[in-house]
Amino acid sequence: MSSLHYTKKIIDTLESTPNCKLLIVPDDLLQSSLSAMGECDDGKDIVQHMIIIEEEGKKELIIDKSMIKLVFKECCPVIKDQLTSNNEDFMFLATKGIMLILNEHITVINRHQDILLSKLHGNTEESTAILRHEINLLRSLLTSNNPKINKSSSLWTLFKKLYTHILSLDPSNQPRITANINELFISTVLQSAKSHTNNYYAWLAMKFLIQVTQIMKDLETLQTIKDTIWRYTQHHINESAAWDCFVSSYIFNIDSMNCVVEECLNWEPGCSLTRRTELAVISDEILDKAYQQCSGLKQWILKSQISTSVVPYEAFKNLVCWCHRYSKFHSKPQEYLNKVIELMRFSRENLLSLAGDEVPSSLELSSINVKNGYYIDQHGVNVFERLESKDLSQRELTMVYCHWLRLSTFFDKFYTI
């Protein structure tokens, strides 16, 4: 039977250190680094295939692809022979090795989860240590430079289950696992998103956290999430998942919130989350904050003159529409609705000023219309077919104008303004 020598070395390193960064690199890159560091020893395979770097309290584990192959060769026979075995500890380690390599091996992940849950009964020091190690391992996998692992829906689901389990524990026991589970969750999502752009499952996990904090009325954590996402989205204007998450932090989707409650109760029957109703959740404060963010987002888009992405405009549209829809829950519904409608007003003159203070008449922006999703000029020609002949500044002005025109057309079509 395999000794899982290589697997144990890697897993022990990842589990023992909070926020250990896992990097998987080509063989030649790691070997050249080892040679430069003077650490290569032909008599020690374990050294040849990995480097541990520690600087200023941070640790990085760098392994090469040959190490991945060695781990795979170690773990596969164990998984094959041990699925029905009672040797749980050996099997548990093997499942971790496979999770390091394969992102969606459902059988292995389910077996891993079953063993984990069997070890978490009670609030003993041993169960606390196991939970802490599991959190450390999952964080390293979800923030690694391997996109398949980083974006694994199964691993993100397991991460959410562990979060729910920690919430169900006695509050006095939570610090023994991590100082602040919400901050740990937020930082994991952010590091994962920075490692790989358009990380849909990472931002889906953040939406889960948003809805949990909304249900629990944890306004401090919710504000931290809003600030974190806003700083990120300003520098990633094309990441639709991040912008959708940003909008979600201001709006309250009751159906989604109740689905999260059911999901958490299914995972952890002792969870304290309860279903909510619109009347119980949506208040003047929530509506006013959403409106203020609408106004602020509009001003930011205007100031930034964003021409290369439609995503921030879509975020503004979705947030305004939510405010419009739920204005009836405000204590002063008509007054609130009027303010929201004002944000949705765009005349042709307004649109020209939005595109820029000095719009060249040669651009003929006032003649552009939206037809079947395309921007058409007075001659029926697609506007973008003639943009190549314009200089960069004129192309950008045209794009900005078209983005605002698209919003105006939407608002005019679906709402009476």
Distances (CA, A) of 9 to 13, 82, 96: 6, 21, 12
25 and 62 in a single domain? The answer is: yes
Alpha helices in 144-199 (DSSP H): 147-150, 153-168, 181-195
Cβ contacts of residue 284 below 8 Å, gap of 6+?
330, 331
pLDDT at residue 124 tops 70: yes
CB count, 10 Å around CB of 406?
17
What's the pLDDT tens digit per position in 14-53? 998 888 899 988 888 777 766 666 554 443 445 678 888 8
Q: Check if the beta carbon of residue 293 is closer than 8 Å to that of residue 319.
A: yes
Distances (CA, A) of 199 to 18, 25, 192, 234: 22, 21, 8, 16
Q: What is the pLDDT of residue 42?
A: 43
271 belongs to a structural domain = yes
191 belongs to a structural domain = no
110 and 218 in a single domain? The answer is: no
Q: Which of 176, 177, 151, 143 is nearest to 163 (CA)?
A: 177
Which burial class, exposed, middle or buried, applies to 196 when counting CB atoms under 10 A from its CB (0-12, 13-18, 19+)? middle
pLDDT at residue 380 tops 80: no
pLDDT at residue 298 tops 80: yes
Least confident of 14-28, 45-59, 207-221, 351-365: 351-365
220 and 75 in a single domain? The answer is: no
Question: What confidence tier does 367 reach under pLDDT thresholds 50, 70, 90?
Answer: low
Q: What is the pLDDT of residue 410?
A: 79
Would you list the DSSP string of 317-344? Answer: HHHHHHHHHTGGGSSSHHHHHHHHHHHT
168 and 205 in a single domain? The answer is: no
Q: Which residue has the tokens 């609130």?
A: 336
107 belongs to a structural domain = yes
Looking at the DSSP bridge assignments, the partners of residue 62 are 23, 51
Phi, psi of 327 (to 5 degrees): -60, -25
161 and 207 in a single domain? The answer is: no
43 and 104 in a single domain? The answer is: yes
312 and 235 in a single domain? The answer is: yes
65 belongs to a structural domain = yes
- From its phi and psi, is residue 9 left (phi > 0), alpha (psi between -120 and 50) or beta? alpha
353 belongs to a structural domain = no
Q: Which of 79, 104, 76, 103 is nearest to 91 (CA)?
A: 79
283 belongs to a structural domain = yes
Q: Which of 151, 171, 147 is nearest to 159 (CA)?
A: 151
Phi, psi of 53 (to 5 degrees): -115, 130
In angstroms, the CA 207 to CA 49 distance is 38
91 belongs to a structural domain = yes
Query: β-strand 21-25 against 369-371: which pairing, if any?
Result: unpaired
Enter the DSSP assignment of 151.
Answer: T
Question: What confidence tier does 235 reach under pLDDT thresholds 50, 70, 90?
Answer: very high
Distance from first CA to last CA of the chain, Å, rounded? 74
pLDDT at residue 366 tops 80: no
Q: What is the pLDDT of residue 176?
A: 63
In angstroms, the CA 102 to CA 109 distance is 10
Average pLDDT, integer, range 47-68 = 83
In angstroms, the CA 71 to CA 10 distance is 9
Amino acid identity of residue 62, one-letter, is I
pLDDT at residue 259 tops 60: yes
In angstroms, the CA 234 to CA 232 distance is 6
Q: Which of 370, 350, 352, 348 is nearest to 361 (CA)?
A: 352
167 and 43 in a single domain? The answer is: yes
239 and 313 in a single domain? The answer is: yes
Number of domains in the chain: 3
Q: What is the pLDDT of residue 41?
A: 47
More confident of the two residues 269 and 93? 93
What's the pLDDT tens digit per position in 317-326? 999 999 999 9
Enter the DSSP assignment of 55.
Answer: E
Q: Check if the beta carbon of residue 61 is closer than 8 Å to that of residue 52.
A: yes
Domain that holds residue 25: 1-179
In the chain, count H helices and then E strands: 20, 5
208 and 264 in a single domain? The answer is: yes
19 and 138 in a single domain? The answer is: yes
Q: What is the pLDDT of residue 43?
A: 37
Q: Check if the beta carbon of residue 211 is closer than 8 Å to that of residue 264.
A: no
**Residue where one domain finishes, among candidates 290, 319, 344:** 344
Percent of the chain with pLDDT strictly greater than 70: 78
Q: What is the pLDDT of residue 197?
A: 84
What's the pLDDT tens digit per position in 153-211? 999 999 999 999 888 876 666 666 666 889 999 999 999 999 888 899 999 999 999 99
Average pLDDT, integer, range 360-381 = 61
What's the pLDDT tens digit per position in 299-320? 898 888 787 788 999 999 999 9
What's the pLDDT tens digit per position in 107-118? 899 999 999 988
73 and 212 in a single domain? The answer is: no
Q: Which residue has the tokens 């395309």?
A: 374
184 belongs to a structural domain = no
In angstroms, the CA 21 to CA 150 distance is 12
pTM score, whole prediction: 0.86
Question: What confidence tier does 387 reach under pLDDT thresholds 50, 70, 90?
Answer: low
Q: What is the pLDDT of residue 245?
A: 95
